[in-house]
A and B are shown apart, each in its own frame.
Chain A
Amino acid sequence: EAGVAQSPRYKIIEKRQSVAFWCNPISGHATLYWYQQILGQGPKLLIQFQNNGVVDDSQLPKDRFSAERLKGVDSTLKIQPAKLEDSAVYLCASSPTGGGGAGELFFGEGSRLTVL
């Protein structure tokens, strides 16, 4: 079974530039999450999708971050404009649990963003 795919693995940009990350979840997984993991910290939830609908985006900085899930499968996370404090690993995770309930998360390798 293929795992969660993410790209790019690494990205370096200047502050105020934009960046986009892509995620392809495990086939059949209805729930998709984007987490931000700053070095030395635990993952912090940015947004949760159930199929192609948003379940929770309360911690997404909506003035600069946006995310969408196309046709309930792939997802993209965009940052525009980036700030220095956005330097982190962006982890995509999917879960087979239906109804939006919490269950095992399967993480991708992550996309490491460095903002200079």
Chain B
Amino acid sequence: GENVEQHPSTLSVQEGDSAVIKCTYSDSASNYFPWYKQELGKRPQLIIDIRSNVGEKKDQRIAVTLNKTAKHFSLHITETQPEDSAVYFCAAGRRALTFGSGTRLQVQP
């Protein structure tokens, strides 16, 4: 089955800086790669996703890049704000999604 590894487990940045979270996956058949944000005690919510026929996707301050050859994808958040503080999960799959272990992002004001 699919195996997703996510790094770093914690990330602390100053407000306005950029944050990058990286994931690798094992199953070359995976074709869907979403990123979810989970605030404390809340449900995970999709923030951006990418399919395997696209190399990069951007939505305002958030971007995701995918390297199918190397089987890794990354989340980039620019101009971070305190409200970006949360746990971020990457996921990969073809039918069901396998999630990474999460990155706790803390944005210091």
Q: Give the B-binding residues of A (Cβ under 8 A).
A: 33, 35, 40-45, 48, 55-56, 58, 91, 100-105, 107-110
In contact, B32 and A107 (Cβ under 8 angstroms): no
C-alpha spacing A104/B36, complex, angstroms: 10
Interface residues contributed by chain B, number (CB under 8 Å): 26
C-alpha spacing A102/B10, complex, angstroms: 27
C-alpha spacing A48/B94, complex, angstroms: 13
How many A-B contacts at CB < 8 Å in the complex? 57
Closest to A58 in B: B1
The smallest beta-carbon distance between B43 and chain A, in angstroms, is 4
C-alpha spacing A57/B89, complex, angstroms: 22
Residues of A contacting B34 in the complex (Cβ-Cβ under 8 angstroms): 104-105
Given contacts A42-B101, A44-B99, A45-B98, contact A102 B93 (CB under 8 A): yes
Interface stretch of the complex, out of B44-52, B53-61, B66-74, B77-85? B44-52
The smallest beta-carbon distance between A38 and chain B, in angstroms, is 11
**Other A-B pairs beyond A104-B46, A108-B43, 12, CB < 8 Å:** A33-B96, A41-B101, A42-B102, A91-B44, A100-B95, A102-B30, A102-B31, A102-B97, A104-B49, A105-B34, A109-B42, A110-B43
Residues of B contacting A109 in the complex (Cβ-Cβ under 8 angstroms): 42-43
Residues of B contacting A45 in the complex (Cβ-Cβ under 8 angstroms): 96-98
Given contacts A105-B46, A107-B43, contact A43 B99 (CB under 8 A): yes
In contact, A103 and B44 (Cβ under 8 angstroms): no
The smallest beta-carbon distance between A14 and chain B, in angstroms, is 24
**Interface hits, B90-109 → A, CB 8 Å:** 91, 93-102
In contact, B100 and A42 (Cβ under 8 angstroms): yes
User: Can you pick out 19 interface pairs between chain A and chain B where the beta carbons lie within 8 Å of each other?
Assistant: A33-B96, A42-B91, A48-B95, A56-B96, A91-B43, A101-B32, A102-B31, A102-B93, A102-B95, A104-B34, A104-B46, A105-B34, A105-B36, A105-B46, A105-B97, A107-B43, A107-B44, A108-B43, A109-B42
